[in-house]
Structure 1
Amino acid sequence: MNIEEIKNPQFLKQLNINELEDLSQEIRRFIMQSVATTGGHFSSNLGIVELTVAMHYVFDAPRDKIIFDVGHQSYVHKILTGRAKEFKRLRQFGSISGFQRRHESEYDPWEAGHSSTAISGAIGIATARDLNHDDYNVIAVVGDAAMMSGESFEALNYLGSSKHKVIVILNDNNMSISKNVGGFSNMLSDIRTSKQYKDVKDNYTSWMMRSKTGQRVYDATKKVKDKVKERVLADSAFAQFDLDYIGPVNGHDMEELIRALETVKELDHSVILHVITTKGKGYPLAEEDKSGLYHGVGPFDLSKGVIKPHHLHHQMWSEAIANHIEYLMHEHDDICVITPAMIAGSQLGDIFKKFPARSFDVGIAEEHAATFAAGLSVAGKFPFLAVYSSFSQRAYDQINHDIARMDLPCLIGLDRAGLVGSDGSTHHGVFDISYLLAIPNVIIMAPHNQYEAERMINTAYTLHDHPYVIRYSKGMIHKHSRHVTNTLQVGSWDEIVYKKENKVTVVVYGDHVRMAKNVVEQNNLPVNVINARFIKPMDEEMLKEISNTHIIVYETVMHKGSLGSAMALYYEEHHRNVKMDFMAIGDHYVTHGDIPTLLHIENLSPEDLLHKIKEALDEERKS
């Protein structure tokens, strides 16, 4: 059939098993071709095709509420709910998101982008349903990596004692972005490979086939639950939460999936359905991927696969940071590296291979990662915690309470700082400065090139006196082969372009220093450009020196709580009347799209900066 002609999932109920399986293969091919053209989340969506088709066959969305944890694996759901035509512009400005979005469709009752929120949200929806005396189903589809996160465990703990029914589908592909870690992952592996469990599963399947009524289904699943507890899962997390558990079910066997989903639909209480899927199903290179290369992809040639770009003279920011940390680890055996499931994204693969005893992937557990770093620091180690800016929000209390309050020496690398593009509002790293500026003891740094970044890292390690934060974007920078060993004066800013007679000053940091410099020099403007490389503490001598100029502060973060707002407060407290303009993000969430488009929409493009500078120059000439 023509996938783009699908309007809603109701037609599925008229199909037989063979037709559902054929449709699944068509959808899988459609996703391969579409995502290879536009980029997007590849492997996770290939792995969940049959499960999503079966869910929409058994349940009645949008009345029944289907919540995908994180939401990046909802492409099949979007296709079945009438959005296939939009896949030509997937994740582009003005088109559909790569995640569930409530404004997009009535079939999206929830939206996220960060892990492990689905069960909590589902419990809330189910509770409201019962308070309203309604009777629809609430289904939370949660990956095994997300199930290991703290919020999921908190929700399961509550769900076990709640009378409000939620169906939790554990989509188990034994992968996060890359290979899963931890005791819970090991428990799931034991279930997958247990001979006893396979015997129980065979019994369970035959019992379900005989079940004709809800009561018989309930009796059958109770027998399975009791046998599982007795023989395999007596000490498992699910049993301890007092939740019914069914599975594991083959996530690519349509008949088995439908039978299992019909079973959990008939129950009158919460249940966990364990479904085994293959991440990247149908595309061998993605099925074999253990590093996360095919998790999120840019456009690529399906016939050749994703080819990692090799840049002779450029590198990603995260690569530059990781390379220098690795360089220092060869010299200093007290440096340890921590990541919450982002080895590939933060370019830490070589470090984990060369220093396995000092490298720690804690899974999707940002809170634990931060307090773990605090413990390492207390015991005399120097931890480097690499975490995406957006995900660091989940560890705010730990950074504040456990690291900064004790003033523990460490370095926190905030990867993907600023606008990140197509992942949109849940992933833009635009809040970190706002929340970090208010925390005592924290030093906040933003380098504009590799050497400056290395000096900042050296400074944090050499001084060993406070928590340091270094924020860097998703972008590319010039690559240098040698490392530098010198440090910076904490709180010092740098004059990139400066003449004392200039009446306008642009204050900028990070990636945008070069852009501001180019705007000024290419247009022969009598304007200073100051690299505010230390956002906290600020360079007070420089602040005094430029206070008699018209200052433009350029940032791709939220204006409230920005460097610009900190500068304005400084001048107010010191009773200085300073002309200031602020270029930053207003009080709203930024949508998805390519970064140049987003900068234009937010009035932060190079052209917007040039326009603001010319306005300031005109104003100064008239005064």
Structure 2
Amino acid sequence: MTAPSKTPLLDRCGVPSQIRKLKPDQLRQLADELRVETIDAVSVTGGHLGAGLGVVELTVALHHVFDTPNDRLIWDVGHQAYPHKILTDRRDRIRTLRQGGGLSGFTKRSESQYDPFGTAHSSTSISAGYGMAVANRLSGKNNHVICVIGDGAMSAGMAYEAMNNAGSDDKSRLIVILNDNDMSIAPPVGAMSAYLSRLISSKPYISLRHLAKDIAERFPRPLKQAARRAEEYARGMVTGGTLFEEMGFYYVGPIDGHNLDHLLPVLQNLRDSEDTGPVLVHVVTQKGKGFPPAEASADKLHAVSKFDVVTGAQAKAKSNAPTYTRVFAQALIKEAEADDKIIAVTAAMPSGTGLDLFDKRFPERIFDVGIAEQHAVTFCAGLATEGYKPFAAIYSTFLQRGYDQVVHDVALQSLPVRFAIDRAGLVGADGATHAGAFDTAYLGCLPNMVLMAASDEVELMDMVATAAAIDDRPSAFRYPRGEGVGLDMPERGRVLEIGKGRVVQEGSKVALLSFGARLQECLIAAQDLAARGLSTTVVDARFAKPLDEDLIRRVATEHEVVITIEEGSVGGFGSFVLHFLAGAGLLDQGLKIRTMVLPDTFLDHDTPAKQYEEAGLSARHIVATALKAMGIDVLAQGVARA
């Protein structure tokens, strides 16, 4: 006998059109079943948990009220969109989240018609949503655009730039839902605030407001302005939201985001109104709602590996090697103990960059600037002008957002800001949106920049110490996500000679020049080549800028084949080496040189090992490249050893 389903209502609601057929009093059960399904799915795959649990009721309400996908629903960042995916014809694949060939951990246009905009970097939803709303208006369409943005994402300047623009357009149908789940910017929510929200979002109130506005238009200009401000401030006194009103948005809220009786009438009122212009709905939620371990966790179980659904205990593999992120943090603490001018800066990622450890040791010397990479970079530039030594710890993919500031405010002025670039290279389950593919190219082209890449955890410690010692120009050092090699760690890093690499293994026929953490694959490849009778040199370049020209010149003149290997796009270390060799005339002497970089495509999420295999940067690909360069039949020789 088949056991009854734990999710009978959810089983009937595979797409939003089926949710819209439900009666309002059935939605509470649907939300409860959706929460159970979300918890169970993430316990199998890992991923982002707390944020998704906080928007379960909101997700149900939005798909019940609005005509998705005709009405466009954008989830800012998208890590809270797992419940949305379950309700939009992807439940049968939800346990493939972040797995190779499976669903993305974020919204993705190519994945579903219900994902109108791909997200993963924060604070883009309002800009994209306003673009859609304007396009709809210009096309004569009458559908809605709804953007759900968290209070953390509202710390980014881009969100306010978008609101400033959209707020001046009272003809486009744009609804922004501020999901307030952490900052506690709202007063207590309850029956009175819910009543007021229903009242001011209702058609009679909005119609009366517009009637008053039309009458006020007949007044002299001073009286007209006074009338408008009186109405805004009267509502602001009882509901808040004056800031958003000043930006041109009609503010509604705060609303309890877990109470469907409060959510539904407000959303229905706004759906049916044609006179509001841009609207901001302030919804208060709780991260991790409905899962006690997540509710009790200080970080709300934001991102998790596989876990036990009863206890919340995560199944993390034990390793003897520390993570690169932790090594960076501990190395920076050591440097800060010796130098009180060292300052740590993060853009809303204290735990992700390891700086939560620095915060415990030096709470007065760390600054979390919020999701504001542009500000973070120029803030560091200001610190540097006054003799301090700022370390900006920012993921490679997020530093892209502050690139103009790196160029104009740091490099142009040759200010000694130190960029600690975490998540360099491929990052596994987070996929293309979080892969650090371009930083070597976009930083290496800048004058005055010192650019390093760590091949192991000891080298990372040395590069932290080296960056701390550079006081006349900016510097950056990149390191991957994940665990180190497992080396014995020194007490403190040592200062490296700027622009000097190291020879790890001497050979005579093939030279492998590694920039970054592919060094171990190069050593494996060198063993394989040696077994084939090809003596191989392995170099840890350490620096892409300035290059170790003496070492590269020697390698180029003493070997038949030279191969550069890096975890970055074209335009990086290999390009710098080619540029030098061409200028030095060394390419005219029969040297066979090959560059191995990430392919010219965005690689989907998978395990890092499979991603690097797909990228062609594993040991067997290095061996194949060397053999092919020497004219040896790769198929006859066989593939590299595992």
Report the TM-score, using the length of structure 2 for normalisation.
Answer: 0.88
Confirm whether residue 426 of structure 1 aligns to residue 442 of structure 2: no
Alignment of 1:224-243 (within 5 A): 226-230=233-237, 233=240, 236-243=242-249
Aligned position for 1:215: 207
Alignment of 1:210-609 (within 5 A): 215=207, 226-230=233-237, 233=240, 236-267=242-273, 268=275, 269-291=277-299, 294-307=301-314, 313-477=320-484, 478=486, 480-499=488-507, 502-521=508-527, 524=530, 525-548=534-557, 549=559, 550-559=561-570, 561-577=571-587, 578-609=591-622
SS in 2 for 1:469: strand
Deviation at 1:155, TM superposition (A): 0.6
The alignment-based identity, stated in percent, is 34
Deviation at 1:519, TM superposition (A): 2.4
Counterparts of 1:266 and 1:144, CA distance in 2: 26
Counterparts of 1:581 and 1:299, CA distance in 2: 41
Kept in 2, the 8 Å contact 1:503–1:620? The answer is: no
Structure 1 residues 466 and 213, CA gap change in structure 2 (3 angstroms): closer
Deviations 1:69-122 (A, max 9, x none): 111111111111100111121112222111111111111111121000000001
- One-letter amino acid of the structure 1 residue matched with residue 523 of structure 2: K
Aligned position for 1:181: none
Counterparts of 1:219 and 1:206, CA distance in 2: 19
SS in 2 for 1:409: coil
Deviation at 1:17, TM superposition (A): 2.8
- One-letter amino acid of the structure 1 residue matched with residue 538 of structure 2: V
Aligned position for 2:56: 49
Aligned position for 2:169: 162
SS in 2 for 1:476: coil
Once the two structures are overlaid, the 10-residue window that deviates more, 90-99 or 209-218, is: 209-218
Aligned position for 2:136: 129
- One-letter amino acid of the structure 1 residue matched with residue 294 of structure 2: A
Deviation at 1:159, TM superposition (A): 1.4
Counterparts of 1:329 and 1:421, CA distance in 2: 32
Deviation at 1:483, TM superposition (A): 1.9
Deviations 1:456-491 (A, max 9, x none): 222222232221101010020126454235311111
Once the two structures are overlaid, the 10-residue window that deviates more, 434-443 or 344-353, is: 344-353
Counterparts of 1:260 and 1:493, CA distance in 2: 63
Structure 1 residues 507 and 209, CA gap change in structure 2 (3 angstroms): closer
Counterparts of 2:209 and 2:115, CA distance in 1: 30
- Over aligned residues, Cα RMSD in angstroms? 2.5
Counterparts of 1:41 and 1:516, CA distance in 2: 34
Aligned position for 1:30: 37
Deviations 1:389-424 (A, max 9, x none): 100000101111111111111311000100001111
Aligned equivalent of 1:173, options 181, 185, 194: 181
Once the two structures are overlaid, the 10-residue window that deviates more, 298-307 or 375-384, is: 298-307
Kept in 2, the 8 Å contact 1:208–1:217? The answer is: no
Structure 1 residues 497 and 56, CA gap change in structure 2 (3 angstroms): same
Equivalences, count: 600
Deviations 1:211-264 (A, max 9, x none): 679737978999995533245648x42132121100111111112111111122
Deviation at 1:449, TM superposition (A): 2.0
Once the two structures are overlaid, the 10-residue window that deviates more, 47-56 or 305-314, is: 305-314
Confirm whether residue 192 of structure 1 aligns to residue 184 of structure 2: no
Counterparts of 1:50 and 1:142, CA distance in 2: 15
Deviation at 1:206, TM superposition (A): 6.3
Deviation at 1:620, TM superposition (A): 12
Counterparts of 1:598 and 1:31, CA distance in 2: 27
Deviation at 1:200, TM superposition (A): 6.0
Aligned position for 2:216: none
Structure 1 residues 206 and 5, CA gap change in structure 2 (3 angstroms): closer
Deviation at 1:507, TM superposition (A): 1.1
SS in 1 for 2:141: coil
- One-letter amino acid of the structure 2 residue matched with residue 250 of structure 1: D
Which structure has the larger Rg?
A: 2
Counterparts of 2:205 and 2:458, CA distance in 1: 70
Confirm whether residue 10 of structure 1 aligns to residue 2 of structure 2: no
Once the two structures are overlaid, the 10-residue window that deviates more, 603-612 or 4-13, is: 4-13
Once the two structures are overlaid, the 10-residue window that deviates more, 13-22 or 306-315, is: 306-315
Deviations 1:556-584 (A, max 9, x none): 2112x121111111112222223211221
Deviations 1:137-156 (A, max 9, x none): 01111111111210001011
SS in 2 for 1:547: helix
Deviations 1:177-224 (A, max 9, x none): xxxxxxxx4xx52x324xxx8686254156379867973797899999
Structure 2 runs not aligned, ≥5 long: 1-7, 214-227, 635-642
Counterparts of 1:9 and 1:576, CA distance in 2: 64
Report the TM-score, using the length of structure 1 for normalisation.
Answer: 0.91
